[in-house]
Structure 1
Amino acid sequence: MRRYHPPTDGTTRPAIAPPAGPPRLLDRVRERMRRLGMARRTEEAYVGWIRRYVLAHGKRHPDQMGAREVEQFLTLLAVRDNVSPSTQNQALAALLFLYREVLGQSLPWMEEIRRAKKPQRLPVVLSRSEMAALLGEMSGVHGLMASLLYGSGLRLMECVRLRVKDVDIARSELVVRQGKGGKDRRTMLPQALGVRLQVQMDEARALHRRDLATGFGEVWMPDALARKFPNAAREFGWQYAFPATTRSVDPASGVVRRHHRDEKGLQRAVKAASLRAGTAKPATCHALRHSFATHLLEAGYDLRTIQELLGHADVRTTQIYTHVLNRGGHGVVSPLDR
């Protein structure tokens, strides 16, 4: 094993020598995805599918497999595991990424594999009275977060990852960083939540001060900002607006930090509130976002405005809410109703 020799130029380098030999397949997948700036959750999903693909074929290397094995794997998912078409397509996307981006194979059979046809489903939308009943059953931090999902149209992870610096109570505005597709956007902050959110910011500040007093107080920083601004991780503006109640160990770096609240806690809270409110519809966190868009459309706001608030790349994605209203974009009324 090679010994580590300290640098002579005054810089610091890792005390562990790089491993000998080529990296393992899944490590190569992770490196390539990080090189392309893909989301960490996408990385976890792709690595999981590639691992299942290799195990399903007796741990054969993907170099030794091709279209037949990919089709067999997707058929296995559909027939034995009964997964949805969207799950099948995610598995296929992971395997295509493996062959194209990691193994460097651009073969004709890749284009011939047909994707599973996804059914066209309408989103679950709660009425205004149902929304009031559900939110009335919630309180505390989870109640505030659920109100933001509905009042600002946030996605689940956009809400839990909200940073203090991106909350502008004076201007009634939120800045969503690194939303779906890596895009930033601005959206509204309901004035009705201003006081509650200010109380939450004050509690987060007090918690941060206690962390600093005990030698902690750093937060995870995206990209290379931790190197560019070494002290920013301890600044209050970069802290999460909804911090976790306990500190935890970052699995990637081993550093003890205070992360944001677990999204599963908010999901369970919304589900429990829906049951208490007697809502017959399957109310989820994403249903609150659907309700935000639909109620804005009912109020007469145009699709383009709603598209920007939701962060949709294509207005055709936003147009689905016109079908929920049982009317076209021009508000056609049945002649029987007239």
Structure 2
Amino acid sequence: VAFVLRWYLQWAEAAHCEPGRGSALRFWSESVSSRPRKAWQLDLWAQAIRWYLEWLERIKSEQPVMSSDISLKERVSASVHRVGARRGLAVRTRKTYAGWAGCYAHWCGSVERIMNESYAREWLGWLVRERQVAFATQKQALNALAFFFKDVCCRKEVDLRSGVKQARRRVRVPIVLSPDEVDKLLQQMRGNYLLPAQLMYGTGLRLKELMGLRVKDLDLERDQLVIRAGKGDEDRVTVLPSILIEPLEKHLQKIRVLYDLDRATGLAGVSMPGALGRKYPKAGKQWSWFWVFPAASTGIARKARWKRRYHILDKVFQRHIRAAGQRAQLNKRVSPHVLRHSFATHLL
């Protein structure tokens, strides 16, 4: 948000324009929409500029910005996100809980209803009756509301199950590829995405664990790799197929050139997990912390202040897996997690 506002104000100063709706439309046309952008960038930037223009109009009319101008859904979501961060919840967990709590607040429509547990139980039942959500989805919403009432609202005892219609828990058979199908899929992988797919199938990594691998996590001499902060924020060690040792060695030599180029051009180091970036500010520039599968181009993340190199995006890798499955003419729905299922099944 701060980035796009600074960008807009610098543009307005250079163009000798007064900040306002007219100059904002011109800025959007000339500087933002003139280049291809991602959907989340456009949504975030548009929301930031709208907020700024509304604030500017209130300042001009000498009307203070009231907290009531923020929707109830946004206030509840922000509270859950803030308390979740203080409790040390994972980022994805905080976003999930905040999203469900915001949906609940929007459904209630008033603070009095939000604080009433009977409405929470009614909403959980409504998810099953009207939205027809699965068991896992309802349980996720239940956990989010339990966190909201206990941790945000500081209630010691909360009853969210009495009289609530529970979604039926159905046993689903996971999708598993045969060894021949895996071979056909890997043959259709192109470019720099073949080795990540081979590593995912050979080690059973989750997608997030695969993308977040660092050079120091590979132990090629002992044929194993270490997964840091995996599911449940726990570390574990898994096997590394000997057939992938030589390809990984060549791959490390290749990305070492990319690493040296980043250091020569003065690019910021890679992002660090948790608070390690503050504790060890120079660690991101060390080879041991470099991504095993770095992205080909650099970029600026939402909360970053400078340009740096990130790992391959999850969605990009997922698209390549699906495209390879189509080219291989497999009759199954293929995703990266299917390789994890296949790894576990073929070990039996």
TM-score by length of 2: 0.73
The 3-state SS of whatever aligns with 1:274 is: helix
In the alignment, the residues of structure 2 paired with residue 41 and residue 214 of structure 1 have an alpha-carbon distance, to the nearest angstrom, of 33
In the alignment, the residues of structure 1 paired with residue 234 and residue 166 of structure 2 have an alpha-carbon distance, to the nearest angstrom, of 27
2:247 is the alignment partner of 1:222: no
CA apart distance, 1:139: 3.0
The 3-state SS of whatever aligns with 1:130 is: helix
**What is the RMSD computed on CA atoms of the aligned residues?**
2.3
Deviates more, 1:154-163 or 1:268-277: 268-277
2:121 is the alignment partner of 1:81: no
TM-score by length of 1: 0.75
In the alignment, the residues of structure 2 paired with residue 190 and residue 203 of structure 1 have an alpha-carbon distance, to the nearest angstrom, of 20
* 1:191 corresponding residue in structure 2: 242
Deviates more, 1:146-155 or 1:269-278: 269-278
The one of 93, 101, 113 aligned to 1:50: 101
The 3-state SS of whatever aligns with 1:101 is: helix
2:146 is the alignment partner of 1:96: yes
Structure 1: 4+ residue segments shifted above 6 A: none
The 3-state SS of whatever aligns with 2:226 is: strand
* 2:53 corresponding residue in structure 1: none
Work out whether residues 298 and 310 of structure 2, in 8 Å CA contact, stay in contact via their aligned partners in 1.
yes
The one of 154, 159, 174 aligned to 2:205: 154
* 2:310 corresponding residue in structure 1: 259
| CA-to-aligned-CA distance 1:219-243 (integer Å, 9 cap, x gap) | 1111221222221111111111111
Greater fraction of residues in helix:
2
* 1:142 corresponding residue in structure 2: 193
CA apart distance, 1:254: 2.8
In the alignment, the residues of structure 1 paired with residue 112 and residue 191 of structure 2 have an alpha-carbon distance, to the nearest angstrom, of 50
Work out whether residues 298 and 307 of structure 2, in 8 Å CA contact, stay in contact via their aligned partners in 1.
yes
The one-letter code of the counterpart of 1:51 is G
In the alignment, the residues of structure 2 paired with residue 56 and residue 228 of structure 1 have an alpha-carbon distance, to the nearest angstrom, of 43
The one-letter code of the counterpart of 1:225 is L
* 2:24 corresponding residue in structure 1: none
In the alignment, the residues of structure 2 paired with residue 156 and residue 197 of structure 1 have an alpha-carbon distance, to the nearest angstrom, of 18
The one-letter code of the counterpart of 1:97 is F
CA apart distance, 1:68: 2.9
In the alignment, the residues of structure 2 paired with residue 286 and residue 86 of structure 1 have an alpha-carbon distance, to the nearest angstrom, of 17
CA apart distance, 1:114: 5.9
| CA-to-aligned-CA distance 1:190-233 (integer Å, 9 cap, x gap) | 12222222222223222222222222131111122122222111
Counting aligned pairs with the same residue, the percent is: 39
The 3-state SS of whatever aligns with 2:339 is: helix
Gaps of 5+ in 2: 1-66, 68-73
Deviates more, 1:170-179 or 1:84-93: 84-93
* 1:106 corresponding residue in structure 2: 156
In the alignment, the residues of structure 1 paired with residue 254 and residue 93 of structure 2 have an alpha-carbon distance, to the nearest angstrom, of 33
2:335 is the alignment partner of 1:284: yes
The 3-state SS of whatever aligns with 1:110 is: coil
CA apart distance, 1:147: 0.9
In the alignment, the residues of structure 1 paired with residue 157 and residue 267 of structure 2 have an alpha-carbon distance, to the nearest angstrom, of 51
In the alignment, the residues of structure 2 paired with residue 102 and residue 286 of structure 1 have an alpha-carbon distance, to the nearest angstrom, of 34
Work out whether residues 125 and 166 of structure 2, in 8 Å CA contact, stay in contact via their aligned partners in 1.
no
The one-letter code of the counterpart of 1:44 is K
In the alignment, the residues of structure 2 paired with residue 160 and residue 178 of structure 1 have an alpha-carbon distance, to the nearest angstrom, of 13
The one of 221, 226, 236 aligned to 1:175: 226
